[in-house]
């Protein structure tokens, strides 16, 4: 039997939430990585999965599906706050809109795939390149919307992780 050192699980719980929040920040802020979220918010889903996996493996705890959903949803909420705050700072201080490169790339792909829609794609590109102001009220609305979307998607990532780990454990036990 191997000896496992004692782990402070309350501290590890916050680290796990931080991991999930950091994944959201990276996949919603960094150029071209924002495209990961074009497929059912894959980065957000992965954030919940990563947070739950880190916590379960590090602390050797068992979570029910509902506990995993709530835990990973907290990572989604923390990631929403980080993401919207970073976006607000980038837009107000540096006049940079996170994710614009990925959207422009998608618009170019649309133009290549359906040349008859050139006028619509050009209009979309003009809208994407237009200057944007973000007021504090816009910040709060954006925060509410992202929490409403990111928390359950991240929670679903935690549920998938627990389901996968339980399935692996059942297979190993046979």
Could you read off the pLDDT of 39-97 as tens digits, one per residue? 888 999 999 999 999 999 999 899 999 999 999 999 999 999 999 999 999 888 888 78
Q: Which two tokens stand for residue 147?
A: 């929490």
The strand ranges marked E within the chain are: none
Query: In angstroms, how far is CA 174 from the centroid of its own chain?
Result: 35
Structure tokens at 58: 């590090």
- Is residue 65 within 8 Å of 157, Cβ to Cβ? no
Answering whether pTM is above 0.75, one says yes
Q: Which carries the bigger pLDDT value, residue 59 or residue 5? A: 59
Domain ranges (residues) in the chain: 9-97+133-173, 99-131
* Per-residue pLDDT, 24: 95
- Position 1 scores a pLDDT of 40
Contact residues for 124 (Cβ-Cβ < 8 A; gap 6+): 107, 110
> Which contiguous run of DSSP H or E holds residue 69?
helix 65-93
Tokens describing residue 107: 């618009």
Distance between CA atoms of residues 25 and 8, nearest Å: 26
d(CA 165, CA 16): 17
């Amino acid at each position: 039997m191997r000896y496992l050192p004692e782990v402070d699980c309350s501290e590890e719980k916050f680290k796990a939430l931080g991991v999930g929040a950091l994944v959201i920040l990276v996949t919603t802020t960094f150029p071209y990585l924002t495209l990961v979220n074009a497929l059912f918010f894959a980065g957000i889903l992965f954030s919940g999965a990563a947070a739950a996996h880190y916590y379960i493996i590090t602390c050797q705890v068992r979570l029910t599906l509902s506990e995993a959903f709530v835990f990973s949803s907290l990572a989604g909420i923390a990631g929403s706050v980080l993401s919207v705050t970073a976006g607000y700072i980038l837009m107000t201080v540096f006049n940079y809109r996170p994710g614009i490169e990925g959207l422009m790339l998608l618009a170019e792909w649309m133009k290549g795939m359906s040349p008859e829609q050139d006028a619509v794609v050009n209009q979309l590109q003009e809208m994407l390149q237009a200057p944007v102001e973000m007021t504090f009220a816009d910040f709060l609305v954006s925060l509410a919307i992202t929490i409403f979307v990111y928390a359950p998607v991240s929670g679903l990532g935690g549920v998938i992780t627990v389901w996968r780990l339980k399935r692996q454990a059942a297979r190993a036990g046979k």
